[in-house]
Copies of this chain bind each other. A is one copy, B any other.
């Protein structure tokens, strides 16, 4: 597999250099692997820090800026960042009101963020953590590492970011973030595997007539392989378990936030067509989509495929969703 890179070893540093060149408004510490907004320190606002393996761009660095993350810590490709990164980011963005870590639920991320929280605590920074675990393809039981964190991360970061921007205190920002996570569920489908720079070949074989249901965002195979289906069936098959699990929490009778997400190599032409099918299924089931976002936001390198995330919203969440955001990848409002 060919890649537009210099070498597998320098991929992350090279991308950070490019990010710095494209976004002079961001503080990019290429050595230390930390991206922060410039105006966080001493702002009095809660700092919002996330991070995870690289390869999911624009998540997370593309979401750093007013109204969303204060800082992001990119690890190696599909490898959680090390604790030093997060404690460095926490120190850089602590405005005096404490820092919230947004952690996707993967063994590595959880352990590394936990160690970082200890380090930051030793530095006198008040740290809270929220674990994102929205992926219904994984059974949440004692016998797994628990549901993975996927598309809901974007909802959590946007809404908690808006709350932090408003000057809400740490406990409230953390509570909101947890509420968004608990209200969100996702399901992902792969039409092709992805290729990591280190491996140089697809992470799994997916024959031409088949797709993988219930994939994560790290090139892991899914729970089940099925014959290829048209977009309208993929929409049914994806939304089924998402709506089922949401219904377990309570009736889905209010407005929802919807993310129709591309895994990286799915053309927007296809993704919009898929979104049309998702919207149709939801309308058929009487679900009111209050806001929809369509695009490649939580990706898996060059994987072809898509995921759907729904979040049960209310007035407050919608207001915070609509609040201005000004990042590399997500921008609206003033």
Residues of A in contact with B (beta carbons under 8 Å apart) = 1-7, 10-12, 14-22, 54-55, 57-58, 62, 77, 191-192, 208-209, 211, 228, 230-232, 234, 260, 264-277, 279, 289, 292-294, 296, 299, 301-302, 304-306, 331-332, 334
Contact = CB atoms under 8 A, between A and B. Distances in A.
Contact of A18 (B230, B274, B305): B274
Given A2-B211, A18-B272, A22-B279, 11 more contacts: A1-B208, A3-B191, A4-B266, A5-B273, A14-B272, A15-B269, A15-B273, A21-B275, A265-B304, A331-B331, A331-B332
Contacts of A16: 272
Copies of this chain per assembly: 2
B4 A274 contact: yes
A235 to B, nearest CB: 10
A299 B268 contact: yes
B301 A267 contact: yes
A304 B57 contact: no
Contacts of A191: 2-4
A99 to B, nearest CB: 26
Nearest to A4: B270
B3 A270 contact: yes
Contact of A273 (B6, B208, B260): B6
A18 B331 contact: no
A208 B5 CA distance: 15
